[in-house]
Amino acid sequence: MWRTWCNIKILHAKNVWNTASRKISTKYIEINEEVKNALKQHNPVVALESTIITHGMPYPNNLQCAMEVETIVREMGAIPATIAILGGKVKVGLTDDEKYQLVKDMREVETIKTSRRDFGYVISHKLNGGTTVAGTLIVANKLGIPVFATGGIGGVHREGEHTFDISADLTELGKSSVAVISSGVKSILDIPKTLEYLETQGVFVATFGENKAFPAFYCRNSGYEVPYNVQSAKEAADIIRCHLELGLHSGLLFAVPVPEEFAMKEDEMNAVIEKAMKSAKKAGISGKEITPYLLANISHLTKGSSLKTNMALIKNNARVAADIAVHLAQLQQ
């Protein structure tokens, strides 16, 4: 029973019209051998998103960060599985060449920030796509990869009660049997509303570290607490195991504060964020463009130091995620 959530669920093309199926047609997905073998043998795998690469960071930091994150996952004893769409195919476990291609193609080919709603379009038009947290969760969930590392997840935007801008990351977390390791959410978002939304969606939320202070991505403390604090990878793995074995079909969020030496000052950051948000409003930016716009603007306003923090926290999250994946795999053997 315990083993079933890790089976690779792939459907052959003839069954593709079975709309009740959770499976992806083999026509549309390519899993690299290393990841396939690790999944078969219940070895630790960490899923990684690719919107960070395509829309979250400038070149060459995006590529450098993606490579370093994978190295860290390997050093910790897990297999990295960066997920993206290349030429209309979902690739699980991008090779370095494929990561380079994804970035290089952006100069000539339309590259879509891909959440749930975008997959059919991207694949039918044989485009490239950077999968968001939501998009990556869909693939990880279908393949039974229970651990996924990223920087920050999307959330309820400030003034979301008027704009209805609520990231699909939250609804996807509500229906994916996957644990996401992130540094919480940025204060470009409404943090208390995001936490409320996660509760409604049945997502387990805990901090991973010293206390229950929910981190705000660039800063270690958002000023809001969450109900749970987890202190070790073993404890996290035990919780994930129970959550999955109970068949709850909702996700888990472990929020890891950025390491102290890379953390940014809260007052300073709040002022920068206010400024970036004003400029977004003035430029009429909305919808899926808002997060990439703000990220680039914040990096510009902080003269690149927010980008440094961003890269440091992703790497730290990858380390924690791999540690959790290793402990989870031990529970399965």
**Nearest distance from C-beta of residue 292 to Mn ion, angstroms:** 11
Q: Is 288 in the site for ligand PSU (CB under 6 A)?
A: yes
**Nearest distance from C-beta of residue 291 to ligand PSU, angstroms:** 4
- Our CB check for ligand PSU shows the closer of 133 and 240 to be 133
Question: Facing residues of 156 across strands?
Answer: 166
Query: Under a CB-based contact definition with an 8 Å cutoff, are residues 136 and 47 in contact?
Result: yes
Q: Is 165 in the site for Mn ion (CB under 5 A)?
A: yes
Q: Is 186 a catalytic residue?
A: yes
Residue 327 interacts with, from Mn ion, ligand PSU, none (CB under 5-8 Å by kind): none
Give the H/E segment covering residue 82: strand 79-86
Residue 173 interacts with, from ligand PSU, Mn ion, none (CB under 5-8 Å by kind): none
Q: Is 14 a catalytic residue?
A: no
Q: Is 132 in the site for ligand PSU (CB under 6 A)?
A: yes
- Our CB check for ligand PSU shows the closer of 43 and 128 to be 128
Site for ligand PSU in 154-183 (CB under 6 A): 154, 167-169
**Nearest distance from C-beta of residue 332 to ligand PSU, angstroms:** 28
DSSP one-letter code for 38: H
> Considering only 46-54, 91-99, 196-204, 226-234, which stretch makes contact with ligand PSU by CB under 6 A?
46-54
* Closest to 188 measured CA to CA, from 214, 218, 143: 218
Question: Facing residues of 79 across strands?
Answer: 45
Residue 132 interacts with, from Mn ion, ligand PSU, none (CB under 5-8 Å by kind): ligand PSU
How far does CA 63 lie from the centroid of its chain?
A: 16
Q: How far apart are alpha carbons 317 and 257 in whole angstroms?
A: 9
Residues near 225 by Cβ (< 8 Å), separated by ≥ 6? Answer: 212, 213, 214
**Nearest distance from C-beta of residue 271 to Mn ion, angstroms:** 23
> Considering only 149-157, 198-206, 238-246, 298-306, which stretch makes contact with ligand PSU by CB under 6 A?
149-157
- Our CB check for ligand PSU shows the closer of 55 and 220 to be 55
Query: Under a CB-based contact definition with an 8 Å cutoff, are residues 82 and 180 in contact?
Result: no
Q: Is 152 in the site for ligand PSU (CB under 6 A)?
A: yes
Per-residue buried b or exposed e for 86-109, using 16+ beta carbons within 10 Å of the residue's own CB: beebbbbbbeeebbebbbebbeee
Q: Which of 44, 56, 146, 257 binds ligand PSU (CB under 6 A)?
A: 56
**Nearest distance from C-beta of residue 318 to ligand PSU, angstroms:** 14
DSSP 129-153: EEE-HHHHHHHHHHHT--EEE-S--
**Nearest distance from C-beta of residue 82 to ligand PSU, angstroms:** 12
DSSP 193-250: HHHHHHHHTT-EEEEESSSSBPPBTTBS--S-B-SEEE--HHHHHHHHHHHHHTT---
> Which alpha helices (H) appear in 28-111, and where do they start and end?
33-40, 51, 61-75, 96-105
> How long is the chain?
333
Catalytic residue among 91, 99, 113, 186: 186
> Considering only 65-73, 126-134, 208-216, 264-272, which stretch makes contact with ligand PSU by CB under 6 A?
126-134
Query: Under a CB-based contact definition with an 8 Å cutoff, are residues 12 and 25 in contact?
Result: yes
- Our CB check for Mn ion shows the closer of 165 and 172 to be 165
Q: Report the interface residues with ligand PSU, using CB under 6 A.
A: 49, 51-52, 55-56, 132-134, 151-154, 167-169, 186, 288, 291, 295
Q: Report the interface residues with Mn ion, using CB under 5 A.
A: 165
Q: Catalytic residue numbers? A: 49, 186
